[in-house]
């Protein structure tokens, strides 16, 4: 579906802001792809054409870049896109079990959303939360120390419209499109809310404090 | 008792506002910056050289030396690019750092940019970490407002702009030249070196690419002096670093310690391997570093000692597995990752990762033969040293090292026609649901 005039105007204005951030316009391509993904939920041929036009590139060039990156979707995903880490560490600690549980529970294939459009599922690679394994992501927010039971509950809550908050993230879980908007470089107002460090992030600090250990012990005082 | 842990980057993460400008200032932040801006930029580079700081992104290249390679007076713009792509399996230190302490990175970035005479810096952060990205944008905005970024920083006449740029899900974009291509709006594939980024980096201009933790360590060095930093660590691996313990340990998490600490020491602080189990294997620096076993518990975790013991310090990503973990399964999953993430530019890596996965799948399912082990090593041989970028060498690490240490376990899969280990036993919730499917 082609963009309406309203959409186009809004997108064009935002695109200009994105392009202005960079010394060379082409650097804006990834954020622009996020921008059109925020508009439609995925990167459609129209989205590709829009990016190409803004940057003076061919559509083939843009789609060649887009298809390289797994976070750009060429088909719609759910309002809540769920990723289960099944890289080795999470897989071994339970990610495999969580993934197969969710796969069966949702009954969807690939990254297609559930019939209500709410939830889609993907295996993700290591998301840099290994000390919280097994880790899941919803719209790229952390859900830590998951089990098959808590994972099932989570997707049920998402489908039922129950309030859901990440284990380490913003207080309010944003939708897939809102997340894409943030990734385009237009953050929402939640930066100061939510979590700073979970217990594993503080594990070493806690022990150091108990023992009175600081780096300056061995160095010069300031 | 001697100091085992040295929290510096992690020191204030337990304060609820540690990520704000106010919180960072209260913790002593932004005190190194005026000091740096009053110095001759070359003296800052010399100071970082003297500190012995080596890159925290995996390769351990001396940071000050890298800065020194930037040609001066060349009339071209210079760039600082911060590698916040953190995607090496097991590596989970930069993400919590940016969530809880983004201003240390920004203060370091201003100092580094001043030293290399860059007026633009980019933070290339992996896309899959929404709240971290919010925090980075917020910290950058706060820093502009306080006059730590923008024009004429603290009245020094120095200008710097920082742009937060989100990646889009590609491990290879962590490789510095692939990152630059990605930042220029292309597929994230590596460039031929030389020329190195210091000469022809972003937009073919002199560019320093540094890891988050490397840059975040700079305020300490400038604030406390290079000697204070160099007093920690070992002879050639100086200072503190964040060690990330994950897997089958009682208390996984981030442990900031001088380089040279051992896994035995860290495990003793972390309550050891989870109750009732024993250490089987571990990675010292992420999945691209050859695995170690219990026999390596006392290897000092510095660049030289880990190298001498046959692996690499990498990113200090200590992924720990107990005896319930099948090493063939672990290796297969790592290879599925490399196959998925191979950028496809060179044949040895693109084809080699594909074929290792095929062979490993057969082996894990008990359909393999002993000859498959030689086949695997043969494929690895064709990747190692023959790939276009270091991804290839990293990809063969799990295969070669697991066969070296656990050949018998591979053979057992062949003999039994299946896996001897129950996968459910390795899950943390085995008790809760009576085993994963
Ligand atoms: C496949 C691959 C992935 C990499 N991923 C990262 C990464 O996520 N973060 C990082 O800092 N360095 C990564 N590196 C290392 C970078 O190429 C580069 O050495 C580093 O960013 C330099 O910074 P440093 O000297 O401060 O460590 C990766 C290298 C390779 C080959
Ligand atoms: S080794 Fe070759 S195919 Fe693999 S990531 Fe590097 S350039 Fe790409």
Tally Cβ neighbours within 10 Å of residue B373: 18
CB contacts under 8 A, B 77-116 vs A, are: 77, 86-92, 94-96, 99-100
Q: Which residues contact B99 (CB under 8 A, 6 or more apart)?
A: A168, A195, A196, A197, A201, B19, B131, B132, B135
For the four alpha carbons of A5, A10, A11 and A17, in that order, the dihedral sign comes to positive
pLDDT digits (tens, 9 = 90+) for B200-219: 999 999 999 999 999 999 99
Q: What percent of chain B has pLDDT over 70?
A: 98
* CATH architecture of the region A80-175: 3-Layer(aba) Sandwich (3.40)
What three-state secondary structure class fits A182? Answer: helix
> Looking at the whole model, is its pTM more than 0.95?
yes
Q: Please compute the mean of the pLDDT values over residues A47-69 and round it to a whole number.
A: 98
Is ligand 2 within 6 A of the CB of residue B376?
Answer: no
What CATH number is given for A5-68 in this structure? Answer: 1.10.10
Residue B314 is predicted with a pLDDT of: 98
pLDDT digits (tens, 9 = 90+) for A146-174: 999 999 999 999 999 999 999 999 999 99
> Which among A24, A34, A203 is the nearest to B270, CB-wise?
A203
Is ligand 1 within 6 A of the CB of residue B223?
Answer: no
CB B239 within 8 A of CB B233: yes
Q: Please compute the mean of the pLDDT values over residues A53-60 and round it to a whole number.
A: 98
Q: Please compute the mean of the pLDDT values over residues B309-331 and round it to a whole number.
A: 98
Q: What are the start and end residues of each CATH 3.40.30.10 domain in chain A?
A: 80-175
Q: Please compute the mean of the pLDDT values over residues A141-145 and round it to a whole number.
A: 98
Q: Please compute the mean of the pLDDT values over residues B395-421 and round it to a whole number.
A: 97
Residue A220 is predicted with a pLDDT of: 40
Residue A215 is predicted with a pLDDT of: 86
Nearest to B274 by CA among B325, B333, B332: B325
Distance in angstroms (rounded) separating the CA atoms of residues B423 and B437: 9
Is the pLDDT assigned to residue A222 strictly greater than 60? no
Is the pLDDT assigned to residue B437 strictly greater than 50? no
Is ligand 1 within 6 A of the CB of residue B62?
Answer: no
Residue B430 is predicted with a pLDDT of: 65
Residue B433 is predicted with a pLDDT of: 46
pLDDT tier, B370 (very low <50, low <70, confident <90, very high otherwise): very high
Q: Please compute the mean of the pLDDT values over residues B91-100 and round it to a whole number.
A: 98
Q: What are the start and end residues of each CATH 1.10.10 domain in chain A?
A: 5-68
Q: Which residues of B touch A187 (CB under 8 A)?
A: 133-134, 137-138
CB A98 within 8 A of CB A64: no
């Amino acid at each position: 579906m082609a963009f309406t005039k309203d959409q186009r105007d809004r997108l064009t204005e935002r695109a200009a802001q994105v392009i202005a951030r960079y010394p060379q316009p082409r650097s804006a391509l990834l954020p622009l792809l996020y921008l059109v993904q925020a508009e439609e939920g995925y990167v459609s041929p129209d989205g590709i054409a829009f990016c190409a036009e803004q940057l003076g590139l061919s559509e083939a060039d843009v789609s060649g870049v887009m298809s390289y990156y797994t976070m750009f979707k060429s088909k719609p995903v759910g309002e809540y896109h769920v990723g289960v880490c099944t890289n080795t560490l999470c897989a071994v600690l339970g990610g495999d079990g969580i993934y197969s549980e969710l796969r069966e529970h949702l009954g969807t294939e690939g990254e297609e959303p559930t019939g209500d459009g709410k939830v889609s599922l993907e295996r993700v690679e290591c998301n840099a939360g290994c000390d919280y394994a097994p880790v899941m992501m919803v719209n790229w927010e952390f859900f830590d120390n998951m089990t098959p039971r808590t994972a099932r509950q989570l997707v049920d809550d998402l489908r039922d419209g129950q309030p859901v908050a990440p284990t380490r993230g913003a207080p309010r879980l944003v939708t897939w499109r809102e997340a894409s908007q943030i990734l385009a470089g237009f953050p929402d107002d939640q930066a100061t809310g939510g979590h700073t460090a979970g217990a594993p992030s503080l594990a070493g600090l806690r022990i150091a404090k108990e023992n009175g250990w600081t780096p300056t012990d061995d160095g010069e005082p300031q | 008792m001697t100091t085992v842990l040295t929290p510096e980057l992690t020191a204030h993460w337990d304060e609820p506002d540690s990520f704000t400008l106010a919180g960072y200032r209260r913790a002593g932040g932004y005190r190194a910056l005026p000091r740096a801006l009053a110095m001759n930029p070359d003296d800052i580079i010399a100071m970082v050289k003297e500190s012995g700081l080596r890159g925290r992104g995996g390769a351990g290249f001396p940071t000050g030396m890298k800065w020194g390679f930037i040609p001066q007076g060349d009339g071209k713009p210079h760039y600082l690019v911060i590698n916040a792509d953190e995607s090496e399996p097991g590596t989970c230190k930069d993400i919590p750092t940016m969530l809880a302490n983004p201003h240390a990175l920004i203060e370091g970035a201003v100092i580094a940019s001043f030293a290399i005479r860059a007026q633009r810096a980019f933070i290339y952060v992996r896309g899959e970490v929404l709240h971290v990205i919010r925090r980075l944008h917020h910290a950058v905005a706060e820093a502009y407002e306080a006059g730590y970024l923008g024009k004429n920083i603290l009245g020094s006449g120095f200008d710097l702009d920082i742009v937060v740029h989100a990646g889009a899900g590609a491990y290879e974009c962590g490789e510095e030249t692939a990152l630059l291509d990605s930042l220029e709006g292309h597929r994230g594939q590596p460039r031929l070196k030389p020329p190195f980024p210091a000469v022809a980096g972003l937009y073919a201009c002199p560019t320093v690419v540094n890891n988050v933790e490397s840059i975040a360590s700079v305020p300490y060095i400038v604030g406390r002096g290079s000697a204070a930093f160099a007093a920690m660590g070992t002879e050639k691996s100086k200072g503190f670093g964040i060690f990330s313990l994950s897997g089958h340990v009682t208390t996984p998490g981030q442990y900031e310690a001088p380089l040279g600490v051992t896994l035995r020491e860290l495990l003793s602080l972390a309550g050891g391997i989870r109750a009732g189990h024993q250490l089987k294997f571990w990675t010292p620096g992420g999945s691209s570093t050859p695995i170690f076993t219990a026999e390596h518990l006392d290897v000092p975790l510095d660049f030289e000692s880990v190298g001498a013991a046959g692996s690499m310090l990498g990113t200090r990503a200590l992924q720990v597995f107990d005896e319930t973990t099948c090493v063939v399964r672990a290796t297969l999953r790592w290879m599925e990752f490399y196959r998925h993430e191979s950028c496809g530019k060179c044949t040895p890596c693109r084809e080699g990762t594909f074929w290792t996965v095929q062979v490993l799948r057969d082996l894990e399912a008990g359909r393999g033969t002993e000859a498959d082990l030689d086949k695997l090593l043969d494929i690895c041989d064709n990747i190692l040293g023959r790939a276009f970028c270091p991804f290839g060498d990293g990809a063969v690490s799990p295969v070669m090292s697991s066969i070296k240490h656990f050949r018998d376990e591979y053979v057992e899969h062949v003999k039994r026609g299946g896996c001897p280990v129950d996968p459910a036993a390795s899950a943390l919730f085995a008790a809760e649901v009576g085993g994963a499917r």
